[in-house]
Amino acid sequence: MSSAQPAGTNSTRKYQLLIDGQWVDSQSGKTFTTPNPATGETLAEVAEGDKADIDNAVAAARRAFEGKWSRISARDRGRMLYKLSQLIEEHSTELAALETADNGKPIKESSYVDLPQVAENFEYFAGWATKIEGETIPVPGEMFNYTLREPVGVCGQIIPWNFPLLMAAWKLAPALAAGNTIVLKPAEQTPVTAMELGKLIQEAGFPEGVVNIVPGYGETAGAALAAHPGIDKVAFTGSTEVGKLIARAAADNLTKVSLELGGKAPNIVFADADIEQAVNGAMMGIFFNQGQVCCAGSRLFVQADVKDQFIDRLKEKSAKIVVGDPMDKATNMGPQVSQEQLNRVKSYADIARTEGATVVAGGECPTLTGAFQNGYFYQPTIFSDVKNQMRIAQEEIFGPVVSVISFENEDDLIKQANETIYGLSAGIWTSNITRAHRFAKAIKAGVIWINTYNMFNAASPFGGYKQSGYGREMGKHALEMYTNVKSVWVDLSGKPIGWFGK
Ligand code: ADP
């Protein structure tokens, strides 16, 4: 990557917009800055796209879709995606460092979780490019009916800041495999790695205009993209609140929409579980990525018989979590992504106290020194004595705050677990195999983890029920979001149609 500078230095990086294969300033000439959340220092200055730039990007994506890209074979699309996955692997050390510098996630996570999964997604969908097929349908009479599976066209993709590069990969890889063109809007908090990805996309040989990347604010660039009459589909990952705005904006043009939104996942521990494993799983469920995960196991249901023992062990182990410099390999938890996010977490801790929950651990900002005293850090936080109706159990906090709720038996549990507007994911810890599968059926959520948590693979679908959204990312299901089915009828009889006479 030509303009790469070592991440974590004080020098400010600069990025332009990627439109029609060119790196350009925004029409307004405006820029915005993105801080390193561990220190508050400016990491990069980025061109600020808005409606005018979105218009240009959509026009470029349309030209590419109707032109060059439509003439490129599926095999070549696959080869470009594969090349891109290899380039990402080659540059994974710098990309992981930049992801950590922009988002705050520990380098251990960006290096060993985010980057490998980014490469995996492009590699997986590279294989799909040549396997997107229609069908022949056994219709009656002397007729031949077949389907074509075609790209939907120009896709607007709006992504969040919690897994900046991985969310770009989840969206771009299936869309490109299916032959679409794209206008991608990264989150304003974390635009840096998407812009670096743009350079690798060019290097992988994608023609100009196939992928356009326009960073900017949600209310301006994002809103203009969602409402744009020139796009055929909008794909969004982010909060349920903004998801509703996107769906409303898209409704005016009846643009196709897929939404991957918030969650308030139940992570459930039965007394017959391996408690040590369940404690590890509870921590993985809520503290991974500083709790900024839509499928975080934020409602921790623990069966009453083991509750005290479980909480003691959870407290003991959580106390060992190292919060601090995210660039340090020994760190388990970095800062929240922004001051705004930190304020949100703090306000929910206050709400929890007012609602009568008990602080078991955390509940404050840690005291860090030196460069990190201005970072947006929060302690791993555990509240017990939470009731499922409380706001901290119903509203998405998106931070390292878990609510422990006690339950008596399975019936009582299933009812409470489903009492939420969300339905993204759920976890269960038990040694009873029939209970585990009964639970998997009974919970209204798109992903269920049994004796594990936060497992992902490019081949496995991910997405929500209820207000957690619709559509599925990854796996072959993602291709459905990026293809249209066309039905073609052919008369084989050669006879005139006699319906209205000869
Ligand atoms: P969070 O609440 O987790 O910060 P958001 O849902 O606000 O996440 O943001 C996710 C993405 O949606 C970001 O890229 C953001 O810029 C974008 N966004 C925010 N508001 C709007 C909007 N009104 N229209 C379109 N996109 C938006």
Q: Are residues 30 and 109 in the same domain?
A: yes
245 lines ligand 1 (CB under 6 A): yes
Quote the distance between the C-alpha of residue 145 and its chain's center.
Answer: 38
User: How much is the pLDDT for 11?
Assistant: 74
Q: How far apart are the CA of 423 and the centre of ligand 1, in A?
A: 20
User: How much is the pLDDT for 205?
Assistant: 98
Q: Indicate which residue of 155, 294, 295, 365 is catalytic.
A: 294
Domain membership flag for residue 19 = yes
Domain membership flag for residue 191 = yes
Q: Are residues 274 and 250 in the same domain?
A: no
Q: Are residues 198 and 276 in the same domain?
A: no
User: How much is the pLDDT for 449?
Assistant: 98
Q: Are residues 174 and 286 in the same domain?
A: no
Q: How far apart are the CA of 186 and the centre of ligand 1, in A?
A: 9
Q: Are residues 158 and 298 in the same domain?
A: no
Domain membership flag for residue 46 = yes
Domain membership flag for residue 369 = yes
Q: Are residues 328 and 251 in the same domain?
A: no
Q: Are residues 17 and 106 in the same domain?
A: yes
Q: Whose CA is nearest to atom 14 of ligand 1?
A: 187
Q: Are residues 198 and 341 in the same domain?
A: no
Q: How far apart are the CA of 48 and the centre of ligand 1, in A?
A: 15
Q: How far apart are the CA of 187 and the centre of ligand 1, in A?
A: 7
Residue 419 annotated to the active site = no
Please tell me the pTM assigned to this model: 0.97
Cβ–Cβ under 8 Å, residues 273 and 429: yes
Q: What's the CATH number where 333 sits?
A: 3.40.309.10
DSSP run (H or E) holding 489: strand 483-491
Q: Are residues 250 and 163 in the same domain?
A: yes
Q: Is the dihedral of CA 243, 244, 247, 249 positive or negative?
A: negative
Q: What is the pLDDT of residues 306-321, one digit of tens each?
A: 999 999 999 999 999 9
Residue 365 annotated to the active site = no
Q: Indicate which residue of 260, 295, 365, 473 is catalytic.
A: 260
- Structural domain range at position 43: 13-261+468-486
Instruction: Please give the Cα distance from 81 to 87 (Å, whole number).
Output: 10
Q: Are residues 359 and 227 in the same domain?
A: no
Q: What's the CATH number where 178 sits?
A: 3.40.605.10
Cβ–Cβ under 8 Å, residues 182 and 228: no
User: How much is the pLDDT for 8?
Assistant: 43
Cβ–Cβ under 8 Å, residues 420 and 255: no
Q: What is the pLDDT along the chain (502 residues), one digit of tens a residue?
A: 444 344 444 578 999 999 999 999 999 999 999 999 999 999 999 999 999 999 999 999 999 999 999 999 999 999 999 999 999 999 999 999 999 999 999 999 999 999 999 999 999 999 999 999 999 999 999 999 999 999 999 999 999 999 999 999 999 999 999 999 999 999 999 999 999 999 999 999 999 999 999 999 999 999 999 999 999 999 999 999 999 999 999 999 999 999 999 999 999 999 999 999 999 999 999 999 999 999 999 999 999 999 999 999 999 999 999 999 999 999 999 999 999 999 999 999 999 999 999 999 999 999 999 999 999 999 999 999 999 999 999 999 999 999 999 999 999 999 999 999 999 999 999 999 999 999 999 999 999 999 999 999 999 999 999 999 999 999 999 999 999 999 999 999 999 888 887 6
Domain membership flag for residue 434 = yes
The number of domains in the chain is 2
Nearest to 310 by CA among 302, 299, 321, 319: 302
Q: Whose CA is nearest to atom 20 of ligand 1?
A: 218
Domain membership flag for residue 289 = yes
Q: Are residues 50 and 100 in the same domain?
A: yes
Domain membership flag for residue 460 = no
Length of the chain counted residue by residue: 502
Q: Are residues 257 and 288 in the same domain?
A: no
Domain membership flag for residue 295 = yes
